[in-house]
């Protein structure tokens, strides 16, 4: 699976969460204060930006032993959380996302730094395109709270596109590229590289698609520029490894 992530740009892993764990996460989300500006609700989408900041009670539910082990085994112990979003695409949503790469990161302020730009601001959140080597080192985990397939907005991806650096969607050569639909069962996760070209369709099955999207990095930013949502969970991973070692001994 680590090789697939490196070569293809994504991997799907089933059975990370039990149905009971998923229900606990959803119950925690339902209790959140939705009046804040980081909450966005329309007929087509309910989203919570800075999710782990806004719903901190979800943190320990999300980072269970299985997810901690995967992060540690795939990437080592030096990564930290840099962004988190909750997406709920309702049963009759017409919301779709065209092919794109995730080219920006969320930071705490706008600062003129060589190699960083262009800049955008969304809901008082600064975002900037960093040097490519930062994006190449980052990864994203998408936690699926529903069964997800092509009929309710599963990601469509172009394998290996993350290896082509900046890859503009309008230049995709479909005579050479292949599209894959990434079905993910409830309780499973998808790990992907930010530079992987990905898209999602409208919902046609009358089924929800709820996903928690968490981005990770092991890179410190230059000068006084900081990740806006940085959360270090290495201590939790070290504690998890210690428990395993004690059990084995």
Domains delineated in the chain: 2-242 (2.60.120.620)
Q: Provide the 8-state DSSP code for 134.
A: H
Please write the tens of the pLDDT for every residue from 205-233. Answer: 888 899 999 999 999 999 999 999 999 87
Please write the tens of the pLDDT for every residue from 90-138. Answer: 777 777 899 999 999 999 999 999 999 999 987 778 999 999 999 999 9
Q: Centre a 10 Å sphere on the Cβ of residue 182 and count the other Cβ atoms it contains.
A: 20
Nearest to 11 by CA among 219, 177, 155: 155
156 Cβ neighbours under 8 A, 6+ residues apart:
99, 150, 179, 180, 181, 182, 198, 199, 200, 201
* Mean pLDDT score, 58-82: 93
pLDDT of 88 over the 70 cut: yes
Half-sphere exposure of 131 (CA within 13 A, CB side): 9
Structure pTM?
A: 0.91
Distance in angstroms (rounded) separating the CA atoms of residues 180 and 157: 5
User: Which residue reads 């009971």 in tokens?
Assistant: 20
The predicted structure's pLDDT at residue 245: 53
């Amino acid at each position: 699976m680590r090789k697939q992530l490196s070569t293809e740009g994504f991997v799907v892993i089933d059975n990370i969460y039990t149905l009971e764990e998923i229900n606990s996460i959803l119950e925690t989300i339902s209790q959140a204060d939705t009046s804040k500006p980081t909450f966005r609700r329309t007929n087509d989408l309910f989203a919570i930006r800075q999710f782990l900041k806004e719903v901190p009670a979800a943190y320990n539910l999300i980072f269970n032993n299985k997810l901690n082990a995967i992060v540690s085994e795939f990437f080592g112990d030096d990564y930290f959380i840099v962004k988190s979003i909750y997406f709920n695409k309702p049963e009759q949503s017409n919301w779709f996302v065209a092919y794109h790469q995730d080219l920006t990161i969320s930071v705490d302020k706008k600062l003129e730094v060589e190699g960083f730009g262009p800049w955008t601001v969304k809901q008082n959140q600064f975002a900037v395109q960093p040097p490519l080597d930062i994006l190449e080192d980052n990864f994203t985990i998408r936690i699926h709270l529903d069964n997800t397939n092509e009929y309710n907005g599963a990601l469509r991806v172009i394998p290996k596109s993350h290896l082509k650096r900046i890859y503009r969607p309008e230049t995709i050569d479909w005579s050479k590229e292949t599209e894959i639909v990434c079905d993910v069962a409830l309780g499973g996760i998808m790990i992907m590289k930010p530079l992987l070209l990905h898209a999602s369709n409208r919902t046609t099955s009358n089924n929800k698609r709820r996903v928690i999207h968490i981005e990770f990095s092991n890179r410190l930013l230059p000068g006084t520029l900081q990740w806006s949502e940085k959360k270090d969970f290495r201590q939790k991973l070290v504690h998890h490894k210690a428990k395993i070692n004690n059990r084995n001994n």
